[in-house]
Chains A and B, each alone.
Chain A
Amino acid sequence: MTESLDLSLYAKPMADGTLGMELAVEGIACGGCIGRIEHAVRSVPGVTEARLNFTNRRLHVAWSPGLGEPAAILRALEDGGYHGHPFVPMRAEQQEAAEARRLTRCLAVAGFAAMNIMLLSVSVWSGNVTDITPETRDFFHWASALIALPAAAYAGRPFFTSAWRALKARSLNMDVPISLGVILALGMSLIETANHAEHAYFDSAIMLLFFLLVGRALDHAMRRKTRAAAGNLAALKAENAHRLIGDELVSVPSAALKAGDRVLVKPGERVPADGVVLGGKSDLDESLITGETAHRNVASGATVYAGSMNYSGALTLKVTAAGGAALIDEIEKLLEKAASAKSRAMRLADRASRVYAPLVHLTAALTLAGWLIAGASVHDAIITAIAVLIITCPCALALAIPAVQVVASGALFRANVILSAGGAVERLAEIDTVIFDKTGTLTLPEPRVVNTAVLDQELLRMAARLALSSRHPLAVALSREAAMRVPFDDAVEEPGQGVRARINGIEGRLGSPQFCDVITPSTAQASTVCFRHGDRFAVIAIAQKLRSDAVDVVNSLRGRGLDLCILSGDHAEAVAPVARALAIEHWQGGLKPAEKIARIEALRASGRRVLMVGDGLNDAPALAAAHVSLSPISAADVTQAQADAVFLGEKLKPVLDAVVVARRARGLMTQNLWLAAVYNAIAVPVAIAGAVTPLIAALAMSGSSLLVTLNAIRAKGGTR
């Protein structure tokens, strides 16, 4: 059956009249792929442009409307052995990219200005101790002013706007003392230059901006990288739905479905949107939504939810809520409540700046008053007070935390953890309790064969290879055991019963017990599928299986002094064996989303900081309520949106890595804050005494920034 593919959702009109589309490309292995992919796509008729971004594995294509066809582009990629997943770039990602570009421009301007002013300043400093003429010095100072003022006006904007916003909201952030220091330093230097003075601080002001911009630009670059990776994963996860238009089937992206559309859901596929069953009968696995592993029978009139896996029969649905908007009412209400109740954990940097900013300003004011009382001239007193502000300008302090943040999120990225919320690293370091969901979190998201040890290996191999010919979810699970990924040639699928094929001249049958003529005791724990080959047969049990390293990870977490707990929506009999295998004492099954939140609230009330790890739609409110949350990449979209970080792969180890990296990062952040404090304790008395020359200011500033940054690099550590 041919089914047309409608990708108009992703096509965007470009400036030159062509249509453009962004694709996340899977399967790029090496540099040679760039040429192969671009060449393959460009040779599709109608395509005018194909450009692969190797850094973020994305392909931009453009084609002339009417001539080209997006489905052909996907086919061309498939033929080359790649998979293209079209996507609409997320707004947040585009904004972040624009912000990163702006920061890079500011950084370039500040860097240019800092270098040139430094050249002039070094001449003045060395001239001051030798034989520079006052005219030459003035000329150098005016030249510095000419560079510094426009450069600061441009490169300082990120700080000025943020400080202004904070002041308007009647609060203080780190940007307030920074902006104040820069503006006062420039203003004072200008007046001093006009008065033919010996010292000007243009270099200090610009260097300060340069160092801080380096920190911010790196922070943004890292965030952009993780954001792009997350965007690609989302694109890879997006599925197509079979939309019925009249009697015709059209394959459309699930995101393009609208309420009222009719869709067909084949066995082995996920339900693309919330809807009501119009026709057909089937069993649905709703574990992604409720955590329940037992299947639910649905027939005409039943309500089904997006994300359920369709097991046995084809269903025709009428969509009631489209794509991303689909949410169960109860969960939506809980989610709102949980998100609003979430205590806005104050970030370390904000806490530091709230103490620091008033302290600095007070010290400057006291210096001014002190010198006046001591009988200094007003001019000298003001100069000294401003010098105090410049030397305390929180260069090291403002770098202390972002620098660690950048290195830590890089380390997490390599450990397959993608951060989505700022401040998650700090909150992860504070946890003392970990709550796991069971289905899809402690266990693998897809069922696996659980009784491999007791089966005849030859039979299992044959059964697994035969299973390749069926799309039934149990067969898909079984086929993961297949050593040879080539299906049998003459395999025939009997709908609703199983598959059969001739294997070594004897008929092999895989499917229900009746189909294979096998009598089996029924088990509640696992689904079974039978295989018969001649007079030999095997009963294969398929069930949720623990992630391969779950036991080790759970033990290590316990070894780090964390309390562990399982809260599952699945029934108690299914949770008990998992809890026993992992030796977790505190567990509860059959919990509704509201009960999960209640448990978390109770823990919080007793002073606990909870890390929630979960994947189901029923976990989403609990994730929002917890102090910090993680979810596997297989999680429901709504759930992932609530999580502070997403982890990839089949292992549970990223959860452990996240905690380890976060704790180390938190330690380094505190250490850096202390380093900055020590720096101030030494530099401030010198400044108050009025002994700070621009040379000392420059040395102190770059020295302390360098120290803090080098210390931050230790956050990288060895994660494995």
Chain B
Amino acid sequence: MNVLVYLVPLALGLGLTGLFTFLWALRSGQYSDVDGAALRVLSDDDLQETQETQETQETEDRRGLA
């Protein structure tokens, strides 16, 4: 039964990690717009519109046409 001496604290530690992760998420405002978050994941607006991505986009378009 000695195994409990480190298994129980280990389990507690894992639980605490989960708790603090949740508290951090709460503090950083991840729960302030629940409906929006569900929709934002569908949009690609967060991709930087750099020269590079535009170019790859264009080449892809051309390939699609070819």
Please give the residue numbers on chain A whose beta carbons come within 8 Å of chain B beta carbons, in ascending order: 30-32, 34-35, 38-39, 52-56, 101, 104-105, 108-109, 112, 115-116, 119-120, 133, 136, 139-140, 143, 147
Contacts and interface: CB of A to CB of B under 8 A. Distances in A.
A105 B15 CA distance: 15
Interface in B20-54: 22-23, 26, 31-36, 38-40, 42-43, 45
Interface string B1-19: 1001100100110011011
Given A105-B23, A112-B15, A147-B12, A34 B1 contact: no
Contact of A105 (B26, B36, B38): B26
Contact of B45 (A39, A109, A147): A39
Contact of B36 (A52, A109, A139, A147): A52
5 contacts: A31-B42, A34-B36, A52-B36, A54-B40, A139-B5
Nearest to B22: A108
B32 A34 contact: no
A675 B35 CA distance: 36
Interface in B48-62: none
A136 B19 CA distance: 26
A708 B30 CA distance: 31
Contacts of A39: 45
A38 B45 CA distance: 10
A288 to B, nearest CB: 35
Contact of B33 (A35, A55, A112, A136): A55
Interface of B: 1, 4-5, 8, 11-12, 15-16, 18-19, 22-23, 26, 31-36, 38-40, 42-43, 45
A109 B19 contact: yes
A609 B40 CA distance: 49
Contacts of B12: 116, 143, 147
Contacts of B22: 108
B6 to A, nearest CB: 12
Contacts of A143: 8, 12
Given A35-B45, A52-B36, A139-B5, 7 more contacts: A39-B45, A54-B33, A101-B26, A108-B23, A112-B15, A112-B19, A115-B15
Contacts of A54: 33, 35-36, 39-40
A30 B40 CA distance: 11
A394 to B, nearest CB: 27
B43 A32 contact: yes
Given A31-B42, A116-B12, A133-B1, A55 B19 contact: no
A147 B13 CA distance: 11
A108 B26 contact: yes
A492 B10 CA distance: 82
B34 A55 contact: yes
A116 B36 contact: no
A152 B26 CA distance: 20
Given A53-B33, A136-B1, A136-B4, A31 B15 contact: no
B39 A116 contact: no
A34 B18 contact: no
A51 to B, nearest CB: 9
A56 B34 CA distance: 10
B43 to A, nearest CB: 5
Contacts of A133: 1
Contacts of A115: 15
B16 A112 contact: yes
Nearest to A136: B1
A34 to B, nearest CB: 6
A588 to B, nearest CB: 47
Contacts of B34: 55
A108 B19 contact: yes
A706 to B, nearest CB: 24
A72 to B, nearest CB: 21
Contact of A139 (B4, B23, B26): B4
B11 A116 contact: yes
Nearest to A135: B1
A547 B62 CA distance: 59
Given A35-B45, A136-B1, A55 B36 contact: yes
Contacts of A32: 43
Contacts of A140: 8
A-B pairs, 5 with minimum CB distance: A54-B36, A31-B39, A112-B19, A35-B45, A53-B33
Nearest to A109: B19
A690 to B, nearest CB: 31
Contacts of A35: 43, 45
